[in-house]
Amino acid sequence: AQTVTQSQPEMSVQEAETVTLSCTYDTSESDYYLFWYKQPPSRQMILVIRQEAYKQQNATENRFSVNFQKAAKSFSLKISDSQLGDAAMYFCAYRSDRTGTASKLTFGTGTRLQVTL
């Protein structure tokens, strides 16, 4: 079974600075997807960024980028130029590319990000 580990329960960053959230996962599969979801106080789950395992190039979405290290099974999220609106709980998630098990998203336990002035 796949597992996702987020070892940082809480992180803090100053506005306009850069912060990196860590995520590692365990799988025996070669094809899969990785995601970062943001959950603000409104509790809505918002997709921040996704990465296909077969792609070597790291995904980027504006101020958000990932460092995907497939061999190390690591998938960290970098937030540049942090803004107050980035304060939220961030979840790392894994999804298999195999039909049948493909419906399941496996989540980490989350990292709460605080943004200070």
64 in Cβ contact with 76 (< 8 Å): no
Task: Give CA–CA dist 39/43, Å, rounded.
Answer: 5
9 or 85, CB closer to another protein? 9
Q: Is residue 27 within the footprint of another protein (CB under 8 A)?
A: no
Tokens representing residue 22 in the block:
């860590």
Q: Is residue 16 within the footprint of another protein (CB under 8 A)?
A: no
Q: Is residue 90 within the footprint of another protein (CB under 8 A)?
A: no
Q: Is residue 33 within the footprint of another protein (CB under 8 A)?
A: yes
Q: Is residue 55 within the footprint of another protein (CB under 8 A)?
A: no
45 in Cβ contact with 4 (< 8 Å): no
Count CA atoms within 13 Å of residue 106 on its CB side: 19
Question: Quick one: 105 exposed, middle or buried, by C-beta within 10 A (0-12, 13-18, 19+)?
Answer: middle
Binding residue for another protein, selected from 2, 50, 73, 80, defined by CB under 8 A: 50
Specify the stretch interacting with another protein by CB under 8 A; choose among 20-28, 62-70, 80-88, 104-112: 104-112
Binding residue for another protein, selected from 7, 12, 44, 69, defined by CB under 8 A: 44
Q: What angle do CA 65, 70, 72 make, to 5 degrees?
A: 105
Using CB under 8 A, list all residues that contact another protein. Answer: 4, 6, 9, 33, 35, 43-45, 47, 50, 52, 91, 95, 97, 99-100, 102-110
